[in-house]
Structure 1
Amino acid sequence: MNVLKYGSVTAVCCVLAGCSSVAEMAGYDTASLNQAAAKQYRETIRIIDGRYRLDTESETARRVHAVFERMKPFAEKVNQTGIPFDWQMAVIKSEEPNAWALPGGKMAVNTGMVEKLQLTDAEIAAVIGHEMTHALREDGKKAAGGNVLKRWAGYTVGIAVQATTGISGGFAGLGADLIGHYGVAMPYSRAQENHADEGGMRLMAEAGYNPQAAVSVWQKMNAYRDNNNLKTSIASNHPTNNARIDNLRRYLPQVMPLYQKHMSLRKVDEIRVSDGWQNILQSTQ
C-alpha cells in the first residue's frame, strides 16, 4: 500500500506541509499530474501485458475488479480535487504482496496481495480503499512537491516494476516520473499512511464492507512478514504492522456506524461527505 513496500523498494521521500502548493507552483497541478500519470500507467500496463504478466481472467482478478467496481462510486462521491477521476484497476501476476495507486485513480494490485495473504473480499476492499485514499488525498502531488524541494531523482520505473513483478530489462527507461513524482516506489510518510488506512476503512464501510477487515489485513501481514522490530519502528517511513493495527482499532468506532447505516441505505446518492472525510482529505501530511 504503497501498501506493502516493506523494503522491496527503497527510496527517500520528502513529505512537508505545503508540498502540494510547491508542486502546483512548479506546474504539477491536479489536471496535468493526472494526465501524465495516465500516460505512464497505460505504457506500464501495455508492457506488463506484453510480458503476459497482466491478469484478466483468474478468480483473483475477478474478485479484485468486483470489489473495485463496487467501491468506485463511493470514492468519486468524496473526490474533492475538482477533477473527476478516470478510475482504473490492473491486476498483475506477481507473488509479491503489493498494491499501488497513481494520481487520478490509476491503480494496481498484485495477485500475491490476495493469494499469499488469503484475503477475503472485505480485506481486498481495505487494500483498495487505502490506495484510493492516497489518490483522493493527492499524496502523489505532495510527493511531487517534495521532489521539487529536494531535487530528488535517480530512480526509474524499472526499479519499481522489477521489485513488484519480477520483470526487468525493458522497463529501464520507462519514465522516472512514475516513481519520482507519483509515489509508486517511494514510501509515504507515517501520517500519510495512517490517513490512507483510515480513509480506506471509511470507504469500505460506506461501500458495505465490514471495516473490521482492515484490522485483519494487517494481522495477516504480521503472520506473513513481521516488521515489528525496533529498527523498523525508528527508521522506517511506514508505521509498523502493529502500529497500523492499533490505529485502525482506535478508528473503528468512528466507521462502524457508517457501515451499519450504509448497509441499510445501499444508495450512493444518499451518501454525504462527513466531517471524518474532511479531516482525512484536507490534512497536509
Structure 2
Amino acid sequence: MRSFHKVLIAGIAVLAAGCQTVQTTQPGAIGVERKQHMLVSEADVEKGAQVAYQQELDKAKQKGALNADKNTYDRVQTISRRLIPQTTVFRPDAADWKWEVNVQTTDDVNAYCMPGGKIMVYTGLIEQLHATDAELAAVIGHEIAHALREHSRERLSRAYAQQLALTGIALATGAGDMTMELANQVAAVTFTLPHSREQEAEADRVGLELMARAGYDPNASITLWQKMGKLGGSKSEFFSTHPSSDSRIKDLQANVPKVAGLYEAARR
C-alpha cells in the first residue's frame, strides 16, 4: 500500500510539473479575463491540428467537395479576411498564425476553427440558415474565438488530467511511453465533444467583438442563434459541440451594447 501511494504521489508530481496557468488572450472591450490551466503545449496541439485539418481537406478533395462553389468560397474568404486582422486585439501573435480558410460542400450545418487558425465552413450552414454575411461573420468569429482562447488545448489538458491514475503511474514506474495521438484527439474535441458552457460563453463574447470590429452588425449573432433554434438540434451537427439555449441569446443581447461603439467606428 505504501508503495502504491509513493507511485501515485510521483504521478501527481509529473502532472504538476507540466501544468501551466496561462492567459491565452487579452480581455478586449468585452472583458474575457479567465486564466486557464494547460498540461499540453501549444506547439504540440497546433501540430496535431495541422495533421487533423489536412486529413479533413484530403477527404473533402476526394469527394470533390472542397471549395467547389467559387461564389461561396469567395464569400467566406472575404468575411474571414475582415475578421482575422481583428484577432490581434486579443492575441498579437495571431498575426503570425498560418491561417487557412476553406469551404466544404455538405448538408451538415457546421463550421470550425482548429488551433492555429484552420477554418472550415460547411455549405449546409449557409444554405439551411439562409445566413446573411453578418450572421456568417458571427459563426466564423465564434469559431476563431475558440482558437484564440485555445479551448481545444484546454479540453485536451483536462482529459490528460483525468488520466492521471493511469499515465502518471505508468510514468512513475517506467511502464510505457505517454505518446498521444494528438491529431485524433484534436479531431475528437472538434467534431465530437461538446464545449463547456464557460467556453461557449467566452467564444460568443470574443466572437461578438471580432465581428463588430470588422464592421458586421453584432445583433446578427442574436438572429443567428434564433435561426439555429428554429432549425432544431437534430438537424444540425453544430449543436453536438455547440449546444444552444435561451441563456446564450440573453447573454449576447446583454453584451451587444459593449461592442456597439466598435461597430459604429468600423463603419465610418
State the TM-score bracket (shorter-chain normalisation). 0.7 to 0.9
Report the alpha carbon displacement of residue 145 of structure 1 after superposing the two structures with TM: 0.3
- Rg larger in structure: 2
Tell whether 2:182 aligns with 1:178.
no
Partner residue in 2 for 1:210 = 217
Q: Distance in 1 between matches of 2:46 and 2:90?
A: 17
The 1:21/1:242 distance shift into structure 2, 3 A limit, reads closer
SS of alignment partner, residue 116 of structure 1: helix
Q: For residues 153-232 of structure 1, what are the structure 2 equivalents within 5 Å?
A: 175-180=183-188, 182-225=189-232
Q: Distance in 1 between matches of 2:134 and 2:262?
A: 15
The 1:85/1:261 distance shift into structure 2, 3 A limit, reads same
The 1:21/1:226 distance shift into structure 2, 3 A limit, reads closer
Q: Is the 8 A contact 1:117 1:220 kept in 2?
A: yes
Show CA shifts across 1:173-202 (max 9, x none).
99522334x533211101110110111110
Partner residue in 2 for 1:68 = 80
Report the alpha carbon displacement of residue 240 of structure 1 after superposing the two structures with TM: 3.0
Taking every aligned residue pair, what percent have the same amino acid on both sides?
32
Partner residue in 1 for 2:6 = none
SS of alignment partner, residue 256 of structure 1: helix
Q: Distance in 2 between matches of 1:52 and 1:174?
A: 27
TM-score normalised by the chain length of structure 1: 0.68
Partner residue in 2 for 1:131 = 143
The 1:37/1:226 distance shift into structure 2, 3 A limit, reads closer
Report the alpha carbon displacement of residue 73 of structure 1 after superposing the two structures with TM: 1.0
Unaligned runs of 5+ residues in structure 1 are 1-16, 153-172, 228-235, 265-285
Please tell me the residue identity of whatever aligns with 1:61.
Y
Q: For residues 77-92 of structure 1, what are the structure 2 equivalents within 5 Å?
A: 77-79=89-91, 84-92=96-104
Q: Distance in 2 between matches of 1:212 and 1:240?
A: 17
Q: Is the 8 A contact 2:126 2:136 kept in 1?
A: yes
Please tell me the residue identity of whatever aligns with 1:104.
G
SS of alignment partner, residue 148 of structure 1: helix
Q: Is the 8 A contact 1:30 1:83 kept in 2?
A: no
Q: Is the 8 A contact 1:102 1:184 kept in 2?
A: no
SS of alignment partner, residue 183 of structure 1: helix
Report the alpha carbon displacement of residue 64 of structure 1 after superposing the two structures with TM: 1.2
The 1:83/1:150 distance shift into structure 2, 3 A limit, reads farther
Report the alpha carbon displacement of residue 262 of structure 1 after superposing the two structures with TM: 2.3
Tell whether 2:66 aligns with 1:54.
yes
Q: Distance in 2 between matches of 1:54 and 1:104?
A: 20
Q: Is the 8 A contact 1:218 1:245 kept in 2?
A: yes
Please tell me the residue identity of whatever aligns with 2:45.
L
TM-score normalised by the chain length of structure 2: 0.72
Show CA shifts across 1:27-72 (max 9, x none).
x311222122112212320222112121243422221111011111
Please tell me the residue identity of whatever aligns with 2:193.
M
Please tell me the residue identity of whatever aligns with 1:185.
T
Q: Distance in 1 between matches of 2:203 and 2:146?
A: 6
Partner residue in 1 for 2:124 = 112
Partner residue in 1 for 2:256 = 252
Q: Distance in 2 between matches of 1:193 and 1:80?
A: 22
Q: Is the 8 A contact 1:61 1:111 kept in 2?
A: no
